[in-house]
């Protein structure tokens, strides 16, 4: 299977196709490739071009523009814009109509990364210095705020229902991040139930909105099922990240390396360890099972067999599988 990669050349983003990569860790496999239909690839490419077209006037000042768009210059996997176009494709809409809303979703996600890095004191993001390391904490906070404001402004053209959804997604993300922060401040490991609330707010609700926003705009009856699909997909994705972090740290400890990156941030593996008083290996297995549970739940929201088959490849991307 192929992977869509984005490379910036002379101020513009070009597309490259790379071979699929599957990451192996202990007895689990993590897919690192998100499969994209050609129409979705085209939509994501146009979104990258839209983000690249942002200028000083969009942020009123050169300094704010440079800081706010710093992470956008080296894009990640573009998962959230991809899901916007996927949702539009499933209900038969013209994908070009949703380029700006897809761009606003990537702005929201980028804003959350900027703020996360400040809260967690992470110094590297996308193999670059984090925004607050590069420009200072004050500037980074304001840059994240500006991206949220710009995302809401960009969504305004789609009408009040869409703009309200974007604003609510921002509120949910902030609420989840605050819960995450409070647990860290208290140096308390959340229960599994408490952890899942954080995952739903931080990751699930935004992912659900991305999948269903085209249906909301067009009042399509598939809105609820697409939202349920995305909500569960987002939680499964968060658990996947926790498992990768845990296994990375365990491997470093096993090989005598530095394990200081093991922070007190909420992590499902540690929640299982504490709540059920079990070892790390068993906790990892339980977390993998829960990842698969939410992946199955996601696809369960889709009744149409043809659509289920199409979405299954996206679910497989977030699913943690055994070797």
CA distance 18 to 33: 9
Specify the pLDDT at position 270.
93
Specify the pLDDT at position 247.
82
Specify the pLDDT at position 302.
92
**Across the chain, what does the average pLDDT equal?**
85
Q: At what angle do helices 223-254 and 268-276 cross, to 10 degrees?
A: 80
CA distance 298 to 310: 13
Specify the pLDDT at position 142.
97
Residue 9 has pLDDT above 50, yes or no: no
Specify the pLDDT at position 314.
86
Residue 12 has pLDDT above 70, yes or no: no
| Token digits of residue 126 | 């996308």
Pick the CATH number of 22-322 from 1.10.645.10, 3.90.1170.50, 1.10.600.10, 3.40.50.300: 1.10.600.10
Helix, strand or coil, per DSSP, at residue 160: helix
pLDDT digits (tens, 9 = 90+) for 224-262: 999 999 999 999 999 999 998 888 776 555 555 554 544
pLDDT digits (tens, 9 = 90+) for 62-88: 999 999 999 999 888 899 999 999 999
pLDDT band at 154 (very low <50, low <70, confident <90, very high): very high
Residue 20 has pLDDT above 50, yes or no: no
Specify the pLDDT at position 323.
64
Residue 41 has pLDDT above 60, yes or no: yes
Specify the pLDDT at position 28.
63
Specify the pLDDT at position 252.
54
Residue 317 CB partners (closer than 8 Å, separation 6+): 31, 33, 34, 35
Neighbours of 31 (CB within 10 A): 20
Q: What is the pTM of this model?
A: 0.85
CA distance 152 to 37: 28
Task: Give the largest CA-CA distance in the chain.
Answer: 56
Specify the pLDDT at position 32.
58
Q: Average pLDDT of 99-106? A: 96
Specify the pLDDT at position 112.
92
pLDDT band at 14 (very low <50, low <70, confident <90, very high): very low
């Amino acid at each position: 299977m192929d992977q869509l990669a984005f490379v910036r050349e002379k101020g513009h983003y070009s597309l490259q196709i790379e071979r699929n990569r599957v990451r192996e860790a202990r007895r689990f496999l993590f897919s690192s490739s998100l499969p994209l239909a050609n129409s979705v690839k085209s939509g994501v490419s146009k979104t990258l071009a839209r983000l690249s077209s942002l200028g000083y006037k969009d942020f009123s000042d050169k300094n704010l523009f440079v800081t706010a768009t710093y992470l956008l210059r080296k894009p990640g996997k573009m998962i959230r814009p991809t899901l916007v176009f996927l949702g539009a494709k499933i209900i038969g809409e013209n994908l070009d109509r949703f380029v700006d809303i897809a761009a606003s979703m990537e702005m929201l996600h980028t804003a959350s990364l900027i703020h996360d890095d400040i809260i967690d004191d992470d110094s590297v993001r996308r193999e670059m210095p984090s925004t607050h390391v590069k420009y200072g904490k004050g500037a980074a906070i304001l840059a994240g705020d500006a991206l949220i404001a710009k995302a809401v402004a960009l969504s305004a053209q789609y009408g009040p229902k869409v703009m309200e959804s974007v604003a609510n997604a921002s509120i949910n993300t902030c609420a989840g991040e605050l819960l995450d922060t409070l647990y860290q401040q208290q140096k308390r490991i959340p229960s599994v139930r408490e952890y899942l609330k954080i995952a739903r707010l931080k990751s699930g609700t935004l992912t659900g909105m991305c999948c269903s926003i085209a249906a909301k705009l067009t009042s399509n009856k598939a809105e609820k099922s697409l939202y349920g699909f995305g909500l569960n997909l987002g939680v499964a994705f968060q658990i996947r990240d926790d498992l990768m972090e845990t296994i990375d740290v365990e491997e470093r400890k096993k090989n005598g390396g530095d394990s200081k990156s093991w922070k007190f941030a909420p992590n499902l593996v540690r929640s299982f360890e504490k709540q059920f008083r079990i070892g790390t290996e068993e906790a990892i297995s339980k977390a993998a099972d829960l990842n698969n549970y939410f992946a199955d739940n996601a696809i369960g929201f889709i009744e149409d067999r043809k659509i289920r088959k199409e979405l299954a490849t996206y679910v497989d991307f977030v699913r943690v599988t055994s070797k």
